[in-house]
Structure 1
Amino acid sequence: MIVSLMRLFRPRLVLLNGIAALGGCFLFSAGTHPALLVEVYGGVVLLAAAGSALNQVLERDIDRLMVRTCLRPLPSGDLTPLRAAAIGGAAALAGLLLLAAAGGALPALLGGVALAWYLAVYTPLKRHTSLAPVVGALCGAMTPLIGWSAAGGDPRDFRAVLLAGLLYLWQIPHFRLFQSRHINDYRCTGLPLLGSASERHASVAYLLPWLMALAAVAMLLPAFGLIGPKLAPWFATVPLVPVVMAFCRCDSALFSYLNFFPLLVTLAILLERQKLFCW
């Protein structure tokens, strides 16, 4: 049962969502109380886990076709759709309650909207258009706004929007590379491929605009005070690394770099807000 739940919830993905939400908390100066951080992190992780479970209920026919997903609990028969839906619903309710406890109605509302967008818009849309990830990335970009609002900030604040925009831009090349790594699986499903995922030259042409936009937004973080002067040189150069990797077609290294990018940004914000970075 534990293995089934791990496959249902996809812990690496949901933990990453929690880290992005903490970035929003740390960005807001009052958002570092341990109890608040635990509630926000737990709430977002539970909502992301609910999204994973309910998405697998909706896509169990697709999951049967892919080597990567055929051992998930629904295609393998370890869980029934009804039971998986009940587990996902319980996780969603618990996540919303935790977010409401952390910061009131606003973070819970943002979390609910993100979950609904993922399940009701992105999940069905991916069967019909290759642009579904471009639309679906909006729900992932909302996670720092959830953390920011739970800490007491206005989600319309340009600093929170800038962080959300950074996370949005990160998701597209990351998903594009993920799709390339599992291209045979995706071909079996007949799902539309993002940016001609099966063509190498088209891949580079598709990735570069997104990576350049990501680098540009990352470089704005020090200019708007999200990153302090001691880390500013890092943000003036390191965001260009994925652009160079794309030019050199180092897809594996680029994918690994992007896997850690949200964590690095969150850590940099934490170091700045807590004034931990000194020499």
Structure 2
Amino acid sequence: MIEANLSQTHQRLGEIIYSYYQLTKPRIIPLLLVTTAAGMWMAGEGKVDPFLLLITLLGGTLAAASAQALNCIYDRDIDYTMERTRHRPIPSGKIQPRDAALFAIALGTLSFILLSAFVNLLSALLAMAGIVFYMAIYTHLLKRHTTQNIVIGGAAGAIPALVGWAAVRNDLTWAPWLLFALVFLWTPPHFWALALMIKDDYAQVGVPMLPVVAGEEATTGQIWVYSLILVPSSLLLVYPLHASGLLYGLVAAILGFIFLKKAWLLKQVPTDKDLARSLFKFSILYMMLLCAGIVVDSLPITHYLVGTLPNI
């Protein structure tokens, strides 16, 4: 009997922990950390202290988790209405909004303490600015009121790149702001591709995503425009900023060509959800590989190998 009660207690505790884990929307966080890491390696020119990396990524994880938990509280009404989100912890009744709020505040507070104590105050303030911007600007002011919600709101998702650079250099120069701009420009094609796939869900709850208000043709046109700006902008890290080298430039050019091809194909058939899904999935891979290109390009071994090429 005692063993059965202990088993039930452990099972219940596991379910509670998992619910709080789900509250942070964990699938979103890795992409934010990738841009943070890219900013750190670019700032450190391939040399990043392991402890600094660990604390910065941990602080960034906690800040992002806090923002997502707060978002779940704010959007619990539309989450309950949409079938896709109805089973999230708050609308399903697994976590109460008050408990979620305390959890989010604790995560944000711990993030600030870690970053300010073990990294620097600038990185800590930037992480907090990301939470505030995501909630106050995107979630509250923009998401339910304008088709430009994801365009302006994309700045929140771009802040981790600044956090990464600031963690290493304790300043902000042109290079991290360009990385910020790349994430900012990438966000509309990425998110609008998703919005094309779940257009009916947004329409059901009255969220004015661009495909709902302007239609698929206008949306794919905007995706194409942002893609045309994003791809050449990604090469500015090579020239004139010289923040990254030829290896990154090659990676950015190849990825950019594929990105443009997929955006163009979607523009030709705006209602094709399979093409939208293909672009959405590739956009994730694009950003991850672009950031990986920044990291690998910054390594001393890469500089050495590239330097030997003229002698081959």
Place the TM-score, normalised by the shorter chain, in its bin: over 0.9
1:239 aligns with 2:245: no
| Aligned with residue 144 of structure 2, among 105, 120, 127 | 127
Structure 2 distance, partners of 1:146, 1:208, is: 29
Shift of 1:198: 7.2
Rate the CA distance shift 1:16–1:102 in 2: closer, same or farther, 3 A. farther
**5+ residue gaps, structure 1:** none
Superimposed CA distance per residue, residues 140-168 of structure 1 (whole angstroms, 9 cap, x where no aligned partner): 1111111111112421x111111110011
Rate the CA distance shift 1:74–1:44 in 2: closer, same or farther, 3 A. same
1:89 corresponding residue in structure 2: 105
**Identity fraction in percent:** 29
Structure 1 distance, partners of 2:210, 2:116, is: 36
1:6 aligns with 2:31: no
Superimposed CA distance per residue, residues 222-243 of structure 1 (whole angstroms, 9 cap, x where no aligned partner): 2222332234233234312211
Contact 2:203–2:212 at 8 Å: present in 1 too? no
1:144 aligns with 2:161: yes
Shift of 1:74: 0.7
Structure 2 distance, partners of 1:140, 1:170, is: 10
Contact 1:27–1:148 at 8 Å: present in 2 too? yes
Q: How does 1:174-193 map to 2 (within 5 A)?
A: 174-193=190-209
Rate the CA distance shift 1:175–1:230 in 2: closer, same or farther, 3 A. closer
2:295 corresponding residue in structure 1: 270
**Whose helix proportion is higher, 1 or 2?**
2
Superimposed CA distance per residue, residues 19-73 of structure 1 (whole angstroms, 9 cap, x where no aligned partner): 2111111111266100000011011111000001011111111110111211111
2:5 corresponding residue in structure 1: none
1:117 corresponding residue in structure 2: 133
Q: How does 1:1-279 map to 2 (within 5 A)?
A: 1-29=16-44, 32-125=48-141, 126-155=143-172, 157-194=173-210, 196=212, 199-223=215-239, 224-249=241-266, 250-277=275-302, 278=305
Secondary structure of 2:246's match? coil
Structure 2 distance, partners of 1:260, 1:237, is: 12
**5+ residue gaps, structure 2:** 1-15, 267-274, 307-312
AA at the equivalent of 1:234: V
Structure 1 distance, partners of 2:198, 2:204, is: 10
Rate the CA distance shift 1:208–1:197 in 2: closer, same or farther, 3 A. farther
Rate the CA distance shift 1:22–1:218 in 2: closer, same or farther, 3 A. same
AA at the equivalent of 2:166: S
Shift of 1:197: 6.8
Contact 2:195–2:211 at 8 Å: present in 1 too? no
Aligned residues: 278
Structure 2 distance, partners of 1:237, 1:196, is: 32
Superimposed CA distance per residue, residues 121-147 of structure 1 (whole angstroms, 9 cap, x where no aligned partner): 111121111111112111111111111
Secondary structure of 1:79's match? coil
Superimposed CA distance per residue, residues 158-193 of structure 1 (whole angstroms, 9 cap, x where no aligned partner): 111111100111111111111112112111111101
RMSD, aligned α-carbons:
1.7
AA at the equivalent of 1:7: Q
TM-score (normalised: structure 1): 0.94
Shift of 1:194: 2.1
